[in-house]
Amino acid sequence: DAGVTQSPTHLIKTRGQQVTLRCSPKSGHDTVSWYQQALGQGPQFIFQYYEEEERQRGNFPDRFSGHQFPNYSSELNVNALLLGDSALYLCASSLLDNEQFFGPGTRLTVL
Amino acid sequence: QKEVEQNSGPLSVPEGAIASLNCTYSDRGSQSFFWYRQYSGKSPELIMFIYSNGDKEDGRFTAQLNKASQYVSLLIRDSQPSDSATYLCAVNAHFGNEKLTFGTGTRLTIIP
């Protein structure tokens, strides 16, 4: 049974560019949440998707957007990248209102 | 005041001893509480969750919750070198899992 998968593993971009990160949830899970984890910090909630709708959003600017597909997979898009966007981006999947399980993350470096 | 506070450590514990990790939270309405373990360079791994006041045991791990004091802890008995990691406390305002609010984590080192 595959767990949560994310792609790519690592990514290097320059300021001003746009990036798309992808997540496939654990089999049987229908809810995907995205978190940003800066070095030495705990994960910060970006948003959560359920039934292809954004269910809740954290304190992130509109440059951060997402999508959930009918097969429950999800994308995180970040526009106009800033140096401060460099972080580990974590996807977590769950059955609605149950415990969240994290994928391996995507390490984004913005130069 | 941070929403979820943890001592950043590092916390050093001899092998075989009990490691005690603490977490306080500011939202008195919080309903569900989670402990995640994160090895360096890896993603967080769920260890335990607790919803009710008191203790919850799972193997060598015990989570303790005191909602009146807004305090949750994790005890690791018979600590092993493989327990060396950062432990993240996470809180949710509701039963279930919408937004998880994390502390900054406590770095634990088990000394052989």
Q: Is B44 on the interface with A (CB under 8 A)?
A: yes
- Please say whether the beta carbons of A76 and A87 come within 8 A: no
Q: Are A5 and A23 in contact (CB under 8 A)?
A: yes
Q: Do A104 and B43 touch (CB under 8 A)?
A: yes
Nearest to A48 among B46, B90, B98 (CB): B98
**Cα distance between residue B62 and residue B74, in whole Å:** 6
Q: How far apart are CA B64 and CA B21, in angstroms?
A: 10
To probe the interface with A, which of B38, B98, B104, B107 has the most A CB atoms within 10 Å?
A: B98
Confidence band for A85, pLDDT divided at 50, 70 and 90: very high
pLDDT band per the 50, 70, 90 thresholds, residue B97: low
In whole angstroms, what is the distance from residue B44 CA to residue B61 CA? 16
Binned at pLDDT 50, 70 and 90, residue B8 comes out as confident
What's the Cα-to-Cα distance from A5 to each of A75, A102, B111, rounded to whole Å? Answer: 12, 9, 33
Taking CB atoms and an 8 Å limit, are B43 and A55 in contact across chains?
Answer: no
User: From A96, which residue of chain B is nearest by alpha-carbon distance?
Assistant: B97
- Scan residues 79-98 of A and list those with Cβ closer than 8 Å to B: 88, 90, 92, 94, 96-98
**Hey, is the C-beta of B33 within 8 angstroms of any chain A C-beta?**
no
For residue B20, what pLDDT band results from cuts at 50, 70 and 90? very high
Q: Do B96 and A56 touch (CB under 8 A)?
A: no
Q: Retrieve residue B43's tokens.
A: 């993603």
Q: pLDDT at residue A97 above 80? A: no
B62-70 CB contacts, 8 Å cutoff, 24+ apart: B63/B33, B63/B35, B65/B33, B67/B28, B67/B30, B69/B24, B70/B24, B70/B25, B70/B26, B70/B28, B70/B30
Model confidence over B35-78: pLDDT tens digits?
Answer: 999 999 999 999 999 999 999 999 999 999 999 999 999 999 99
| Cα A101 from Cα A83, distance rounded (Å) | 28
Q: In whole angstroms, what is the distance from residue A39 CA to residue A25 CA?
A: 24
Q: What letter represents residue A49's amino acid?
A: Y
